[in-house]
A = this chain, B = another copy of it.
Amino acid sequence: MSPALQRSETDSASPVGRTADVDAYLDANRERVLAELLDLLRIPSVSTDPQRAGDVARAADFVAEALRRAGLEAEVHPTAGHPVVTAASPPVAGAPTVVIYGHYDVQPAEPLEAWATPPFEPLDVDGRIVGRGASDDKGQFFAHVKAVEALRDLDGGLPLNVRFVIEGEEEIGSPNLASFLREHRAELAADVALVSDGAMVAPETPTITYGLRGLTYLTVRVRTAGRDLHSGAYGGGVANPLGALASMLAGLKGADGRIAVAGFYDDVVELDDAERERLAAVPFDRDAFMADAGIAATPGEAGYGLLERLWARPTLDVHGLGGGFVGEGTKTVIPAEGVAKLSCRLVAKQDPERIAQLLEAHLRRSAPEGVAVDVAVEGGGEPALTPLDHPAVAATARALEAVWGRPAVFARSGGSIPVVVELQRVLGAVPVLLDMGLEDDRLHAPNEKFEVRNYLQGIRASAVTLRTLAAALGTR
């Protein structure tokens, strides 16, 4: 057994938890690993936009080539949608297997005019990498690629078996990933799934996230007439689709901030006192949260604290409203139709499909006379919880403490990574969420960024975690 595979139960200075060699490696390779990430960010791999399909494919090829350069066998797999990139390290007989998940697709950059710099002309400026996908998720999964490359160079190989699954459809709900994982479960089966697609609870605070919210996303279209109508000639005698949409949406939530859909909370696992205490202990700067978001209040469901509402309670948000005339000036039109996009973040053990059905039924029941309703379920994902007593969790925490110099915090996240549920179910892997980003990374919004420090610490954390996992899980 090589030194890297020795078991460490002690401290961050143990051989497997050492960081000095990785530090030195990154000092020597800093510019290169940064430049390679910028190259990846230049590819506008917007998965929701059909016109970007070629760019998405180009990003997949880029990722596969980077994995090959890191010493892995990589493959680009076509799917019914965008490709999945997989890779496998040279086999280490008897060693555990870690599957590293990430996604190379990104959100749309709109509204473009709100970006200080072009979203797909990334910059490394003032210690920040600015561009669409910098933190979500190109920067984070690419840190793992660079970590594997570093271990190959430093140790002459990896101390365990590594698989990569880097998909191109996370931002559109991963419609093809579950079936892909099922088809490739033999090659991808793993003991641990490392996922980095989230934010540390605070700067310089290494974080392992043990709870993720699920999601169900709906597009609601209402139609009242065969064509747009003049509000002078028709106003008072016809249904207004936008007024109808407003009243239907308003009826989804009560004045107490609770979702007013019958059955919505039936399957929610309520917080117990222990978890409320644990959440209360998480370092969370409400003032910084508000200042960063530019908000004047933190309203929400009555009876729950802010962090509880953000991490451990379900929500309903309207993402878009459209219809009629919203340009400069006035147009006295009664449009024929309107559209709303909305979603619910879900918590264990809510089922996305059931919630979608409840929402749809509620919306249909509340549609005023003369309003035709069409509801499309755009996909979703189940909530997830990680068992905190698994040795991989402790091993990851040790690595994070070694890299950051302070103990890791265990947190939940308000976000959704539907694939985490699939990695657990299909591949049998215990998900370990090793967050590298920061809360103010502006995910899904203009001027997304990823701190250079977080990128480099992410590479260190990944490299050391692979060592501590190998030691903790030992031979099988």
Contact = CB atoms under 8 A, between A and B. Distances in A.
Interface string A220-235: 0000111111111111
A385 interface: no
Contacts of A152: none
Contacts of A322: 321-322, 326
Interface string A318-350: 111111111111111111101111010100000
B313 A236 contact: yes
Contacts of A325: 108, 110, 319-320, 341
B331 A237 contact: no
A392 interface: no
Given A110-B325, A249-B246, A320-B335, A293 B229 contact: yes
Copies of the chain in the assembly: 2
A230 B320 contact: no
Contacts of A238: 293, 295, 298-300
Interface in A416-441: 416, 439
B317 A334 contact: yes
A47 B331 CA distance: 11
Given A235-B345, A235-B414, A295-B224, A319 B329 contact: no
Given A227-B293, A334-B317, A232 B247 contact: no
Nearest to A312: B236
Contacts of A338: 321
Contacts of A215: 232, 332
Contact of A294 (B47, B227, B231, B369): B227
B414 A229 contact: no
Interface residues of A, number: 101
Contact of A379 (B314, B324, B330, B447): B330
Interface of A: 47-50, 107-108, 110, 114, 171-173, 199, 213, 215, 217, 224-240, 242-243, 245-247, 249-251, 253, 289, 293-301, 306, 309-310, 313-336, 338-341, 343, 345, 368-370, 372, 378-379, 413-416, 439, 442-447
17 contacts: A48-B327, A231-B315, A232-B345, A232-B415, A235-B315, A236-B301, A236-B314, A236-B315, A237-B310, A238-B298, A239-B297, A250-B250, A319-B333, A321-B324, A326-B339, A329-B378, A330-B343
